[in-house]
Structure 1
Amino acid sequence: MAAKWDSGHASPVLSLAISKERVIASGAENGELAIWSEQGTPISKVHLKGDNDVTGLAFSPLSFSKVYVAHGETISVLDTRALGDPMEMFTINKEEINCISVNETDSLLAAADDSGTVKVLDLQSKKVCRTLQRHTNICSAVTFRPHRPQSLVSCGLDMQVMLWNVQKARPLWLTNLQHLAQDEEDLDLHQSPDQLFNPPLAHSLSISSCGNVFCCGAEDGKIRSFRITETRFEEEVCFKAHTQGVSQVSFIGQDPGQSLLLSGGNDGRVCVWNLKKETAQPQKQQKPHHPKKSASKGKGKQTAETSARVSSSLCIEHGEKVNWILGAELQGSKVVLVADPSNAISVYQLGEL
């Protein structure tokens, strides 16, 4: 049974973030922002000007009271100790922002928007230092890689996943999930002949703490795990996680020999997946590909073989479409926070996982 944090918002909650000091921020429709203690008590609230939905949040990795807030086409910087007027505001995107990410040195912020563009803001000069334009549809997620402050990954509703270096205007490597899905279908002997095909529109991304493995959740209900090697990445694992689109994926830590991944779906389920160590081993040397794209036939065979090594540690019937999930350790217990179309945040205990 979930605990409910229900005294922070009047509108549906859309986004969540947590600082290293375990302060939680939540953003909702109509410009609502709330700051919570780890006990679930709202510390402060603010209504951002413009009434635009708060679609993305990111705490500064160096100044734990500083939170970056995406609402509409604007990014506001606020002090969680005294919510009020923003300390700074940046309007760098031409369309609504879907996701923001700050690198670990707090020097760059990336913002992905509905036009498919990723704007990279230099937080020292306060200017856009790079505009990344390769997605042909909405860019739904972007995230910087740990230990590599110039490197980031993006995905979008064009079904493409891209690896970038901020110093270059073109992606180092890209993969079209539709091509991967076709290979997977060809080798999936258990697929029902009348099963409707949902295109693998890419909704969400999460990168593990090592910075070399990332997962992507898509509309076809599958989660795909990739390993990055220098300037390219290859699919290692693909598995059916939800009966509808995977709206959120999020790593919740890496213990020796395993990685735990949270997923939330439009089917109202929240799951914890154990990506075992053997699924994250480097693959054998492949023939070289064109440096700008990856589309290898036969890749689905490896995917089908490794997917059996993924197991679900826990699956919760949440009952509502998942807008955001966040794994955390609060008051000494591992929990998952879930935002859905209600105005409350649900908190589930994860026990010894």
Structure 2
Amino acid sequence: MIKRTSLVVAAIAAGMLFAPQAISAAEIKIASFPGPKHPVNARMLSSWVDKVNATSSGLTAKLFVAGKLGKGPAKQFKRALDGVADVSFGLQGYTSKQFRATTLIELANVMSSAQDGTNRLNAAFEQSAAVRKEYDKVKVLAIWTIDTPIIMTKNKPIKSVADLKGLKLRTPSQMSARAIKALGAVPVPMPITKLYNALARGTVDGVLVSPTVLHTFKIKEVTRYFADGIPFGSSPMFVVMNKKTWNKLSPAHKDIVNKTVGKRWGNVGGKIYDTEHAKGMAFLAGSKSHNLIRLPDAEVRKASGLLNQLEKRVVQQWEKQGIPATEILKIMRAAGA
């Protein structure tokens, strides 16, 4: 009897040893790829770090910017997935195959601004199992969209769809690459961190991108012409936490995290990008060194027609692969109605 009791005690002790234990003190390491002055770092992630640290609960957070936990934005999701970082900030478009449902937000005529896109994206996350499944190996802290992009070129002004033919344009994702190709240009996939040198050296002729990069990545120095008016969708973004990190947090620490993240925090990201969009467009409108071009209505309609045809092809292809694209787009479009 004594021997049997000892075995039971030993088994329980072993179970306690190998089971995930909630920890009373923890530091969350956050990986971010841009520099410290980038709006997401300066006004979103830093603010969250301050909120967490101000709780004096034993839970602390530390932000590592400029790729200090790993260079290159393309592997940001993987860094959280693998535990290189506890939390990471990045763009789904850099690993588009992993986020086919999410990146439907990048199709034309789905969103009108960063805040609008953020609301539509979060509605899809809440209502579509296919969207949520893309994040089932991490804890989602926030998702949002960037503001709508414009076409920036170095040497050639874009005044019509025909002007795009053959131009090499940097794109951030497979969906935006398909959009650029549908309009006659040649997409060149490239992380934003390599764009400045690519434009300076003539590796690319231009870029489809948010006006926020004019200052944050100094793209104003290597571009001259800016075409606005085509109703492109925009890039989604994420802040996610490693699942093991989440599971090890104490109930009190989980409560702190849950109260400071989610849809409301994602809306902060959307507001930041809309604010920076307005600043960027105002800069272009007032600059003597840059030429802001509003495409004529007829050209906008022509571009919209081509992008609508692209949507039909994407939906058909996604549906064949088991992704309910029609349903997801319906949710996204209804969310802003």
Q: Name which one, 1 or 2, has greater alpha-carbon Rg.
A: 2
Structures share a fold, TM > 0.5? no
What TM-score comes out, normalization by structure 2 length? Answer: 0.28
Task: Kindly indicate which of the two structures has a greater share of residues assigned to helix.
Answer: 2
Task: Kindly indicate which of the two structures has a greater share of residues assigned to strand.
Answer: 1
Of structures 1 and 2, the one with the larger relative CO (CA 8 A, separation 6+) is: 2
